[in-house]
Amino acid sequence: MASPSQPTSQKKRILSGVKPTGKAHIGNYLGAMRNHVNMQDDCENYIFIADLHSLTTVKNKAELHSLILDLALDYLALGLNPDKAVFFRQSDVPEHAELTWILNCLTPMPMLELAHAYKDAVAKGIKEINAGLFTYPVLMAVDILIYKPDIVPVGKDQKQHVEIARDLAGKFNRIYGDVFKLPEPYIPEEVAVVIGTDGQKMSKSYGNTIEIFASDKDLKKQVMGIKTDSTPVEAPKEPDTIYKLYSYFASEDEKAALLERYRAGGLGYGEAKKLLLEKVTETFKPFREERERLKNDLSYVKDILKRGAEQARVIASRTKAEVWDKTGLSI
């Protein structure tokens, strides 16, 4: 008999989380948020705000509040429909933290020593690496496994974490008996790594982002700040950062036309940036307007998260009961 916390419909169940840590950018949008929203029509969709994960770095109450609400606003403005998707906050579902302890007790330390967030912190020489950062992948594994999703859409940088989730699921199942499903990561290849204004991976931590909800003024500053080489206006050019970013939002014809202008010479980087700016502004304008509207109704936004948590807890509490049963905690 199918376990009660297995997906009940024919639709595939997808799950993903985003950590509220700053202003959403084109990399987050293309690598994660847009895919989550697009999948809501064909899949049983669980999307959550990973606020417990933010606590590894954010230590200020007011800051955490606004980061959480900002991310909720971003998703809703981008079209996440709470009637189609279960949208919630990780901390509203206590089973995430509870099951993390269980999986912590199955996680070999060397596995975590290889995890990239921890390794990066060590490489940077950060002295006070907290245990939360060290066990970050275990909490993420639980986030995933608790809902038994088929697919976990993430950016390439999160693939390792999904693999850790699979390893831990397999280990639990072998030791205690089958509870968890092994999830598949879904990483759309063309947007696996969106590059930033300096040519390396776009990331809040590198200060090279183009923010999707920035004001016109800031957006202009970010786009015009894209680093270019010193090829003169008249010279033919190879597709560069500007072209790559443009191509994410342009039609095939528009892309071909810009490529032709690059190859022909006579197109300066300044003009190419203006074309990109127009594209980005046009793409995100309706989302920005919707976000402004929602900002005036935060109690509506909070209600959505509360309702989502109630729905998520139905599944999370069933998985917890199975885990309690298998491990011997339920007597």
Taken as a whole, the chain contains a residue count of: 331
Backbone angles phi, psi at 61, to 5 degrees: -60, -50
Q: Which does 31 bind (CB under 5 to 8 A by kind): ligand ADP, ligand TRP, none?
A: ligand ADP
Q: How far apart are CA 200 and CA 218, in angstroms?
A: 20
Residue number with CB closer to ligand TRP (24 or 223): 24
- Min CB(291)–ligand ADP separation in Å: 18
Beta strands in 133-264 (DSSP E): 151-153, 184-186
DSSP 3-state of 322:
helix
- Min CB(258)–ligand TRP separation in Å: 31
CA 211 to the chain's CA centroid: 14
And the tokens for 217?
Answer: 């003024």
Residues between 8 and 37 that touch ligand TRP (CB under 6 A): 16-19
Residue with structure tokens 């302890």? 101
Q: How far apart are CA 152 and CA 185, in angstroms?
A: 5
Residue with structure tokens 């016109």? 216
- Asked if 130 contacts 56 with a C-beta cutoff of 8 angstroms, the reply is yes
By CB neighbour count within 10 A (0-12 exposed, 13-18 middle, 19+ buried), where does 55 fall? middle
Residue with structure tokens 């309702």? 307
Q: How far apart are CA 331 and CA 314, in angstroms?
A: 22
Q: Which does 275 bind (CB under 5 to 8 A by kind): ligand ADP, ligand TRP, none?
A: none
Residue number with CB closer to ligand ADP (21 or 247): 21
The mark string for 35-74 relative to ligand TRP (x by CB under 6 A, - otherwise) is: ---------------x--x---------------------
**Site size toward ligand TRP, by CB under 6 A:** 13
- Min CB(192)–ligand ADP separation in Å: 6
Residue number with CB closer to ligand ADP (111 or 193): 193
Which chain residues interact with ligand ADP by CB under 6 A? 18-19, 21, 27-28, 31-32, 154-155, 157-158, 191, 193-194, 201-205
Residue number with CB closer to ligand ADP (112 or 194): 194
- Min CB(201)–ligand ADP separation in Å: 5
Residues between 150 and 209 that touch ligand TRP (CB under 6 A): 152, 154, 158, 161
Residue with structure tokens 């948590």? 309
- Asked if 231 contacts 224 with a C-beta cutoff of 8 angstroms, the reply is no
- Min CB(92)–ligand ADP separation in Å: 20
Residues between 92 and 151 that touch ligand TRP (CB under 6 A): 140, 143-144
- Applying CB under 6 A, the residues found at the interface with ligand TRP are 16-19, 50, 53, 140, 143-144, 152, 154, 158, 161
